[in-house]
Amino acid sequence: MVIGGETGNGASIYLNLDGLSFSRPLSIGEEKNKPYSIAIADMNGDCKADVVLGNQEAPGAVLINDGKGSKFTPVPFGDNKGTVYGLAIGDLNGDGSPDIVAARSEAQTMLFLNSLTLKKERTPCK
């Protein structure tokens, strides 16, 4: 489970331990940011779920997961205009890599094409 908020403390991950119990929160993203929207998708094709954060008046971030849920490497995208109230992930240009659509208030909705080109014949994730 990933939670963001407008208090300016970044986002937090709670790992599912066994059914309905969760770990202590792990802070992700920059603490100065206010993430208003969160999406989870494998953005780099390594079969490990990554986190996409849409922030208020700050660039968004793709947080590449190391696969253990303990280390997330940020890759910024976009600008600092508006507030991202909605994120959608999908391959919009058919190159096999997931792209990001960010719906923003007080700024245009934006499409961010993923610059990765994933192998089309890669092994499906389990």
Residues that bind Ca ion (CB under 5 A): 42, 44, 46, 48, 50, 91, 93, 95, 97, 99
- Retrieve residue 81's tokens: 């205009």
CA–CA dist 97, 38 (Å, integer): 19
CA–CA dist 42, 126 (Å, integer): 12
Closest contact distance (angstroms) between CB of 23 and Ca ion is 20
User: Which residue lies nearer to Ca ion by CB, 56 or 114?
Assistant: 114
User: Which residue lies nearer to Ca ion by CB, 1 or 47?
Assistant: 47
User: Which residue lies nearer to Ca ion by CB, 30 or 99?
Assistant: 99
Closest contact distance (angstroms) between CB of 13 and Ca ion is 14
Can you name the residues that pair with 109 across neighbouring β-strands?
Answer: none
Closest contact distance (angstroms) between CB of 41 and Ca ion is 8
Q: In what order do the strands lie in the sheet with 83-90?
A: 83-90, 99-105, 110-112
